[in-house]
């Protein structure tokens, strides 16, 4: 293992200065190290991104020592929440402005290709060599305050500068084929190339069907992460180029419009739909992809055991888009209301983004701004009071009133009652 004084220590200092809670955490590490000799390393994506000058808020820290001790100290000294996974010897700390994953240094082995790894405690070096690519195997030792060392495989720093994705050992893609999908993600996200031997190894693993050995859940997880990338569309194209689409959804139609749709979903600010931040970003992106590929959706849903809820959303999106594509500008409010009432917000939102028909966008906006929250000006009990007999007639009249209200024929309760009285004559 090659370790050197971190020449870019000023970069790290800048990051630390921007995050007071990280500063506090490093002070705790300093104290623990002085007391017990435990060692602490920033690792993985956070280090990669610091060196690339990219902002990163997810911090991975490898601990060569006891995670319990870290939690004990953090609890006593910082305002934080944590979840401790004792069995895996990992913990997630939520500090003021940061999420920190702590992991006990480990050694991994694979019972068979594609299996989840067997884990035993290990040294920091073991923990580095179990990682996926050199660019993700860089670490900064932060055991002692103000002495930060950049460590990692010999090639790693150079690979990062040269934009190369390189595996750490020959069987890497076989042991964990999710790394094939991860490699593509980093290439597309960072604009990196694949190192030549790594490329050969990946082609061979794909040709030998290595991804078949991984559970569909794990492939789906990688796919969802890919869809949330800014470069999602390029990743989908790369799947096809690398013959990987067969493991996800073969023969997807990828019109250029989808690229814009995925970008739009990413920076969506629709003032008229509330709580969009509670939507599952993966679901929205899947809806966008399959809006262009309804005929491929069923196989995908079955393959990845997607929920009934998702499959219903897709079905209602298909039916609805067919209906509103045929609408003309004279469509009435009550018709829009009727079409949309039982449709999930996620579907309407995705349809709004994915359609390039202005009328459809206008209709969806009209629904949210003018119709969705309209309340019937009368209730069943009002109708009974003016002599409507209990039974199906009540619902029928309430519906009629609602339609007339939506279409501006009835304005208020008074109008509504008059309307019903006339209907009763």
- Residue number, 45 or 250, with CB nearest to ligand ATP: 45
64 is in the binding site of which of ligand ATP, Mg ion, none (Cβ under 5 to 8 A by kind)? none
Please give the distance of CA 15 from its chain centroid, rounded to a whole number.
25
Task: Locate 14 and state its tokens.
Answer: 């800048």
Residues 60-119 that bind ligand ATP (CB under 6 A): 60
- Residue number, 54 or 120, with CB nearest to Mg ion: 54
How many residues sit close enough to ligand ATP to count as binding (CB under 6 A)? 11
Taking phi first (over 0 means left), then psi (-120 to 50 degrees means alpha), and beta for anything else, what does residue 188 get?
A: alpha
- Residue number, 33 or 48, with CB nearest to ligand ATP: 48
Is 131 one of the binding residues for ligand ATP (CB under 6 A)? Answer: yes
- Residue number, 33 or 131, with CB nearest to ligand ATP: 131
**Of the candidate residues 21, 89, 104, 136, the single one contacting ligand ATP (CB under 6 A):** 136
Residues in contact with Mg ion by the rule CB under 5 A: 45, 58
- Residue number, 58 or 72, with CB nearest to Mg ion: 58
User: Which residue from 290, 298, 231, 292 is spatially nearest to 266, judged by alpha carbons?
Assistant: 231
Question: Which residue has tokens 């069923």?
Answer: 298
Instruction: Evaluate whether 148 touches 12 at the Cβ level (below 8 Å).
Output: yes
Task: Centre a 10 Å sphere on the Cβ of residue 256 and count the other Cβ atoms it contains.
Answer: 8
Is 222 one of the binding residues for ligand ATP (CB under 6 A)? Answer: no
Q: Name, in order, each residue with C-beta under 8 angstroms of 269's C-beta and a sequence gap of 6 or more.
A: none
Is 176 one of the binding residues for ligand ATP (CB under 6 A)? Answer: yes
Task: Locate 219 and state its tokens.
Answer: 């492939």
355 is in the binding site of which of Mg ion, ligand ATP, none (Cβ under 5 to 8 A by kind)? none
Among the listed ranges 92-100, 172-180, 198-206, 377-385, the one in contact with ligand ATP (CB under 6 A) is 172-180
Sheet holding 99-104, edge to edge: 2-5, 147-152, 139-144, 39-43, 58-64, 99-104, 90-94, 81-85
Among the listed ranges 176-184, 242-250, 327-335, 376-384, the one in contact with ligand ATP (CB under 6 A) is 176-184
Per-residue CA distances from 249 to 285, 286, 330 (Å)? 14, 11, 39
Query: Under the rule (CB under 6 A), what is the footprint of ligand ATP?
Result: 44-45, 58, 60, 131-132, 136-137, 176, 178-179
């Amino acid at each position: 293992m090659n370790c050197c004084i971190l020449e870019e220590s000023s970069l790290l200092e800048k990051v630390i200065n921007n995050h007071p809670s990280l500063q506090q955490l490093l002070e705790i590490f300093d104290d623990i190290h002085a007391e017990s000799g435990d060692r602490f390393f920033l690792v993985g994506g956070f280090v990669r991104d610091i060196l690339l000058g990219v902002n990163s808020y997810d911090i991975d820290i490898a601990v060569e020592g006891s995670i319990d001790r870290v939690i004990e100290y953090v609890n006593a000294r910082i305002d934080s929440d944590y979840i401790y996974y004792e069995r895996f010897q990992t913990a997630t700390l939520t500090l003021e402005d940061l999420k920190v994953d702590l992991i006990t240094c480990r050694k991994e082995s694979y019972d068979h290709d594609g299996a989840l790894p067997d884990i035993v405690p290990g040294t920091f070096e073991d923990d580095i060599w179990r990682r996926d690519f050199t660019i993700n195997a860089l670490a900064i030792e932060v055991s002692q305050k103000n002495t930060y060392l950049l460590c990692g495989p010999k090639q790693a720093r150079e690979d990062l500068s040269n934009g190369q994705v390189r595996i750490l050992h020959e069987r890497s893609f076989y042991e964990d084929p999710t790394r094939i999908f991860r490699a593509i993600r980093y290439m597309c996200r960072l604009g990196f190339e694949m190192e030549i031997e790594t490329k050969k190894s990946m082609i061979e693993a794909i040709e030998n069907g290595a991804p078949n050995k991984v559970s569909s859940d794990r492939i789906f997880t990688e796919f969802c992460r890919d869809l949330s990338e800014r470069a999602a569309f390029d990743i989908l194209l790369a799947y096809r180029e690398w013959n990987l689409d067969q493991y996800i959804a073969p023969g997807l139609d990828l019109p250029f419009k989808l690229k814009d749709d995925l970008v739009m979903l990413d920076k969506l600010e629709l003032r008229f739909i509330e709580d969009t931040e509670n939507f599952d970003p993966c679901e929205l992106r899947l809806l966008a992809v399959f809006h262009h590929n309804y005929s491929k959706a069923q196989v995908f849903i079955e393959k990845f055991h997607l929920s009934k809820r998702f499959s219903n959303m897709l079905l209602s999106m298909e039916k609805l888009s067919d209906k509103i594509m045929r609408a003309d500008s004279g469509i009435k409010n009550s018709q829009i209301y009727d079409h949309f009432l039982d449709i999930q917000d996620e579907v309407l939102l995705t349809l709004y983004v994915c359609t390039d028909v202005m009328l459809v966008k206008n209709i969806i906006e009209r629904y949210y701004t003018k119709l969705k929250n309209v309340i019937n000006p009368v209730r069943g009990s009002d109708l009974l009071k003016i002599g409507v007999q209990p039974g199906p007639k009540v619902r029928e009249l309430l519906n009629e009133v609602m339609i007339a209200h939506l279409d501006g024929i009835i304005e208020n309760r008074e109008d509504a009652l008059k309307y019903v009285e006339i209907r009763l004559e």
